[in-house]
Amino acid sequence: MPLDKREQILQKWSREKRFIPLRIVFLLIKLVCFYNFFSRTDENGHNPTWEAIGYKVDTREKPRQKERPLEKGIIETINESDTTILQSLTEKGLHVSEDAEHNTYKIKCDVVIVGSGCGGGVAAAVLANSGQKVIVLEKGNYFVAQDYSSLEGPSMNELYECGGIASTIDAKMMIMAGSTVGGGSAVNWSASIKTPDSVLSEWSKRYKVPLFGSSTYQSAMERFILEDGKNGMKAKKCKGVVASTLRSKVTKKLQIESKVTISACGSLNTPPLMITSGLKNPNIGRNLHLHPSAFVWGYFPEDMTEFSGNNYEGGIITSIHKALAEDSTPRFIIETPALGPASFSAFCPWVSGKDMKDKMAKYGRTATIFTLVRDKGSGQVLKEGRVKYRLDQSDKESLRDGMRMGLRILIAAGAVEVGTYRSDGQRMKCKGVKQEDLEEFLDSVTVEGGPASKNELWNMFATAHQLGSCRMGGSEEEGAIDENGESWEAKGLYVCDGSVFPTAIGVNPMITIQSTAYCIANRIAETLKKEK
């Protein structure tokens, strides 16, 4: 049986002889051990700890479809081999030839898109509807409702980058990024928020960009096909993509030749793909924003509060609270996350065995709130899986204020105990607490460095939104792509994902990514129409 992604990442780090501070080693061991302990199941899909912590898997029968929506158009290479792939591609109406000398299959189309998430999916729909023959490449697998087991461990492994435990290189920030057909749109927590007008106005005035819409650990996409430009065009012209299949019996590479190539594999993977292909713009891979999030919790015993049920039942995110800065841009927002027992255990700081048992016994009645900031700090991702990031001081202040507000909300809702996920297990009993004691506790809530810092106390943060690492700008100096989404260096190469954002936006970005991709794709469609 193949290793799951969490075990693979530890082996990868070991092979690279990557230096890891002792505190991070302990953290990784704790994370993997507890995550596996509360997510592994027997052949009947049962974990013996679940009864003790009051957790039940949703066993309701899922709606079944007569046909998987993408069945007629998808080729799952995991089921293909060298003897079948040529026929499967031809049956989809593609022009395919075999190049035995270079051990490749040459495939011709109008548009090739790398990535099927919020940006890639929208771009594919727009361009296909305009009459173009479109190929979408996706390294993740394809799942529909009836494919899901509702089990936390297998689902995280199937749907997320690195099985859900990707992180920045200093382990300060846990990275949640979709890695499946549909990408972020497939794992979205039901939060669809319009781009703030103040952000759109800022982009237009400061960055001179248009107003849009008031692995496993090796990449399947090896490089873009670039050739020297002619007749005064851009320095290079993109002719398509060279790709390899993962975990299949297809040994030949796929050389996909196209009129237009779109990178839509997200802010973590678009820059490494462009850099590996030979692009040099200094904005590629930099200006990475992560919308860092910090968590607080409140315990609501069933016999002492008006709320019934458990934290894993009902809607995921049913309301949000926005706090605005002086210029009316989002400073931070407060939302509620969906944390299964394994994820909850991984976030809980280790204080003692007794304390950990107590936390897990209260899991079902513990509500978690997180604060998400529109970060001014930024990072970079120049190589696949190597994410560097640094919080700005103002971001730390916003996180601290958001955590304090989250704690006030939990207390006002009737929590009998509240706390943070700081390394010392910071908490406070609420019954009979005086106002001055509450304020003293809130004043003690701090945002520390990550586990690699030298601080006695430390925090762990999380990100589900990765933005800006291939930003749009009015010139080559300001951005990696122009106002049409096209690379400054390579004609015919476009970007349609969250990496095009000039800044963080401060709210869940799915709608913004989709509307941006819609605008870029329509412009591409108009260009292709004129060229015919």
Q: Per CATH, the architecture of 82-140+186-284+470-531 is what?
A: 3-Layer(bba) Sandwich (3.50)
Give the list of residues 6+ apart from residue 250 with CB closer than 8 angstroms, or none: 77, 80, 81, 82, 85
Given a contact cutoff of 8 angstroms between Cβ atoms, the answer to whether 54 and 310 are in contact is yes
Residue in 306, 302, 341 with CA at minimum distance from that of residue 51:
341
Question: Given the structure tokens 């792939």, which residue do they identify?
Answer: 85
Torsion-angle region of 216 (φ positive above 0: left; ψ -120 to 50: alpha; else: beta): left
Predicted local confidence at residue 8, as pLDDT: 63
What is the length of the chain?
A: 532
Residue type (1 letter), 148: Y
Structure tokens at 443: 């004043």
Structure tokens at 460: 């762990």
* Segment 40-48 long-range contacts (CB within 8 Å, at least 24 positions apart): 40/153, 41/151, 41/153, 45/149, 45/151
Predicted local confidence at residue 6, as pLDDT: 56
Q: How far apart are CA 197 and CA 107, in angstroms?
A: 42
Structure tokens at 489: 């260096």
Structure tokens at 520: 């870029």
3-class secondary structure, 1 = coil
Residue type (1 letter), 410: L
| Main-chain phi, psi angles of 30, to 5 degrees | -60, -45
Residue type (1 letter), 168: T
Question: Given the structure tokens 């604060």, which residue do they identify?
Answer: 371
Give the list of residues 6+ apart from residue 205 with CB closer than 8 angstroms, or none: none
Predicted local confidence at residue 497, as pLDDT: 98
3-class secondary structure, 212 = coil
Give the list of residues 6+ apart from residue 158 with CB closer than 8 angstroms, or none: 141, 143, 180
Given a contact cutoff of 8 angstroms between Cβ atoms, the answer to whether 392 and 377 are in contact is yes
3-class secondary structure, 197 = helix
Q: How far apart are CA 514 and CA 511, in angstroms?
A: 5
- pTM of the entire structure? 0.92
| Main-chain phi, psi angles of 167, to 5 degrees | -155, 165
Q: How far apart are CA 291 and CA 174, in angstroms?
A: 12
Residue in 138, 136, 137, 142 with CA at minimum distance from that of residue 159:
142
Predicted local confidence at residue 450, as pLDDT: 84
Q: Where in the chain is the domain with CATH 3.50.50.60?
A: 82-140+186-284+470-531
- For the chain, the maximum distance between any two Cα atoms, rounded to a whole number of angstroms, is 79
Predicted local confidence at residue 25, as pLDDT: 72
3-class secondary structure, 15 = helix
3-class secondary structure, 154 = helix
pLDDT along the chain (532 residues), means of 10: 55 53 72 88 91 89 83 91 92 93 95 98 97 96 88 92 88 93 93 91 82 46 77 80 87 95 98 97 98 97 84 87 87 92 92 94 95 96 95 96 97 96 96 94 94 86 97 95 96 98 96 96 95 78
- The pairing of strands 461-463 and 417-420 is unpaired
CA angle 323, 327, 330 (to 5 degrees): 30
Given a contact cutoff of 8 angstroms between Cβ atoms, the answer to whether 145 and 65 are in contact is yes
Structure tokens at 436: 């001055």
The upper half-sphere exposure of residue 199, i.e. CA atoms within 13 Å in the direction of its Cβ, equals 22
Give the list of residues 6+ apart from residue 37 with CB closer than 8 angstroms, or none: 49, 342, 345
* H or E stretch at 111: strand 111-114
3-class secondary structure, 260 = strand
Q: How far apart are CA 457 and CA 346, in angstroms?
A: 17
Given a contact cutoff of 8 angstroms between Cβ atoms, the answer to whether 190 and 317 are in contact is yes
**Neighbour-count burial for 2-25, b at 16+ CB within 10 Å, e otherwise:** eebbbebbeeebeeeeeebeebbe
CA angle 174, 179, 265 (to 5 degrees): 100
- The pairing of strands 253-257 and 104-108 is parallel
Catalytic residues: 465
Give the list of residues 6+ apart from residue 92 with CB closer than 8 angstroms, or none: 73, 75
Give the full edge-to-edge strand order of the sheet including 260-263.
134-137, 111-114, 260-263, 493-495
Predicted local confidence at residue 17, as pLDDT: 46
Predicted local confidence at residue 305, as pLDDT: 73
